[in-house]
Amino acid sequence: MPRARASRKRLDPARREAVRLLQRIETDQAYVNRLISAGLTDELEPEAGRRATEYVAGITRWRRWLDFLLAQAYRGRYDKMEPRLRYVLYLGLYELLFTDTPPYAALHEAVELARRLVRPQAGAVVNAVLRTLLRQRDFLPQPQTGDTAEDLAIRYSHPTWMVQHWLARYGPAETEALLRYNNERPWFGVRVRTDRIARHVVLHRLADRGVEAEPSPVLDDFIRVRRLGPILEDRLIEKGLLAVQDESAGLVVRLLDPHPEETIVDACAAPGGKTTYIATRMRDHGRVLAFDVHARRVELIRKAALQQGLTSIVAEAVDLREVPTRYPDLQADRVLLDVPCTGLGVLAKRADLRWHRQPEDLSELVQLQDELLEAAARLVRPGGVLVYSTCTIEPEENEERIRAFLARHPNFTVERADAWVPAAMVTAEGFFATWPPRDQMDGAFAARLRRTS
Ligand SMILES: C[S@@+](CC[C@H](N)C(=O)[O-])C[C@H]1O[C@@H](n2cnc3c(N)ncnc32)[C@H](O)[C@@H]1O
């Protein structure tokens, strides 16, 4: 009998693992990216591990929209549904809406998961809910709360406060473009050590392996790839030939424009993505002093420097605010201050960040950003350069910090970014600012300031 045979079949390990991970995320408040690197069951085949993490990342991203649809189709009290049944429904609906899995297979797998991981009768519930939504797939119910921010936040699965924030600043069309971008599979930036391997050689090698990749249109030593897996498997990173780095981060280093033989301070440096690019641009001649307050993260800078064969980098665990007193004579040619920020420019890459951020984070971070700017400014020699950068699109952490800083420090002036980065990414005030849907990279900001006296 086909039914009896189907239920004896082994459950698909990737889907079973996805349900287990969803449970861990909810009960332990675990971060998705940490789980993905450390939490997978050991005996899982690599392909199943990849699929499980893709399910979990996608479901995490789309959770609010999935909840909305499931609540419409479920005949009981959705808010009282047992968590495990909800995870199975998330997975089934996610597969139906966002993957190439044939609908019949997605439905069948979800029903089997419910029968075996929840209880035999739960299969019927899953079958009914998913079939209802499958029938409506081309005209799904839409939120109509009467509040534009709330409707967009549900439809694109973001917290309402974030959408309110962006609507007020960017208007509905730009906000919707950003919300869409945050849910799409982004390009990943990869820096090529072009002093060791030509960019076109890397592109050919990736093409041979069927990896979608293209040269960066804005940086001659970067490429963009749709999947990082093959690069990691190829061990090109361990060999020091490639580094995963968003193009927006690369452009910040171009804006700093370090030269050989200079003394550079990378003031908030871990894990060292920009530090190693700075040293590479200096052909490893000069001094790059890399500070970070977290000792464990400082180890990552050292590891990256070693891997990439860069000896001009000296990394130290220290709170930046103590550096001017610890090293009263330190006067650098250039200082990069890549501050801790809300990270709201990188939501496309970090599936769960949107759910961890709170509006209150902003005021705390802004205060720290001001303090770090004060310390960094004291490390710049007269005539030297200070670059302040973030990976957020929030003006409070960007333009507003620089305007306030300039009001306190008349001996610093803005140098327009046009000479170092594409003009389309330069604001009227001369700052570097990317817009993810337009530039197809993370949202980032940087200001280049010159100390005049
Ligand atoms: C945006 S990340 C830096 C990313 C890094 N520049 C890169 O490109 O790889 C901000 C860093 O600031 C560090 N940080 C936070 N508070 C600090 C402080 N008071 N002093 C020094 N570093 C600090 C954090 O540990 C974090 O590594």
Q: Compute, in angstroms, the gap from residue 249 CA to the centroid of ligand 1.
A: 14
Atom of ligand 1 nearest to the CA of 274: 8
- Ligand 1: centre distance to CA 206 (Å): 32
Helix (H) or strand (E) holding 445: strand 445-451
Ligand 1, residues 252, 253, 268: which to mutate, most atoms within 8 A of Cβ? 268
Determine the pLDDT at residue 309: 96
CA distance 262 to 266: 13
Q: Does domain 188-244 have CATH number 3.30.70.1170?
A: yes
**Comparison of pLDDT for 97 and 33, the residue scoring more:** 97
Residue identified by tokens 């927006």 is 248
316-352: pLDDT as tens digits: 999 999 999 999 999 999 999 999 999 999 999 998 9
Homologous superfamily (CATH) of 2-139 is NusB-like (1.10.940.10)
Domain limits, the chain: 2-139, 148-183, 188-244, 247-451
Active-site annotation holder among 391, 421, 433, 447: 391
- Provide the token pair at 26: 């909810």
How many Cα atoms occupy the beta-carbon half-sphere of 83 within 13 Å? 9
| DSSP conformational letter for 244 | E
Regarding the beta carbon of 187 and ligand 1, being less than 6 Å apart is answered no
Q: How far apart are CA 172 and CA 273, in angstroms?
A: 34
Q: Is 343 in the pocket of ligand 1 (CB under 6 A)?
A: no
Using a 6 Å cutoff on CB, does residue 181 contact ligand 1? no
pLDDT at position 236, please?
Answer: 84
Can the peptide bond before residue 271 be classed as cis, meaning omega within 30 degrees of 0?
yes
State the closest ligand 1 atom to the C-alpha of 252, by its place in the atom list counted from 1: 8
Tokens of 124: 């019927």
Q: Is 319 annotated as a binding residue?
A: yes
What is the average pLDDT across 431-450? 98
Q: Is 439 annotated as a binding residue?
A: no
Task: Note if 391 is an active site residue.
Answer: yes
Mean pLDDT of 259-285: 98
Residue 71: exposed, middle, or buried by beta-carbon count in 10 A (0-12, 13-18, 19+)?
Answer: middle
pLDDT, position 39 = 58
pLDDT score for 36: 60
Note the pLDDT of residue 217.
97
Q: What does the alpha-carbon distance between residue 230 and residue 180 come to, in Å, rounded to a whole number?
A: 26
268 labeled binding residue: yes
Taking CA atoms only, the protein residue closest to ligand 1 atom 2 is 340
Q: Are 396 and 362 in contact (CB under 8 A)?
A: yes
Q: What is the pLDDT of residues 200-220, one digit of tens each?
A: 999 999 998 888 899 999 999
Q: Give yes or no for residue 30 having a pLDDT over 70.
A: no
**Which pLDDT value is given to residue 169?**
94
Quickly list DSSP for 40-76.
S-TT--HHHHHHHHHHHHHHHHHHHHHHHHHHHH-SS
Ligand 1 site, residue 191, Cβ cutoff 6 A: no
Contact assessment for residue 337 and residue 372, using Cβ atoms and an 8 Å cutoff: yes
Q: Band the pLDDT of 414: cuts 50, 70, 90.
A: very high
Q: Is the CB of 107 under 6 A from ligand 1?
A: no
Is the CB of 319 within 6 Å of ligand 1? yes
Measured in angstroms, how far is the CA atom of residue 152 from the centroid of ligand 1?
Answer: 33
- Supply the mean pLDDT for the chain: 94
Arch. (CATH architecture) of 247-451? 3-Layer(aba) Sandwich (3.40)
Report which protein residue has its CA nearest ligand 1's atom 19.
319
Report the 3 state secondary structure along 302-371: HHHHHHCCCCCEEEEECCHHHHHHHCCCCCEEEEEEECCCCCCCCCCCCCCHHHHCCHHHHHHHHHHHHH
The tokens describing 312, both together, are 């001009």
DSSP-based three-state secondary structure for 38? helix
274 is in an annotated binding site: yes
pLDDT at residue 63, rounded to an integer: 96
Q: Is the pLDDT of residue 110 over 70?
A: yes
Taking the alpha carbons at both ends of the chain, their separation in whole angstroms is 86
Which tokens in the block code for residue 79?
Answer: 């808010």
User: In the chain, what percentage of residues exceed pLDDT 70?
Assistant: 95
Question: Alpha-carbon torsion 293, 263, 281, 369, what sign?
Answer: positive
pLDDT in tens, 355-399: 999 999 999 999 999 999 999 999 999 999 999 999 999 999 999
Ligand 1 center to residue 323 CA distance, Å?
A: 14
- Please state, for a pLDDT cut of 90, what percent of the chain lies above it: 85
- pLDDT score at 9: 75
What's the confidence (pLDDT) of residue 28?
Answer: 75
pLDDT at position 1 is: 40
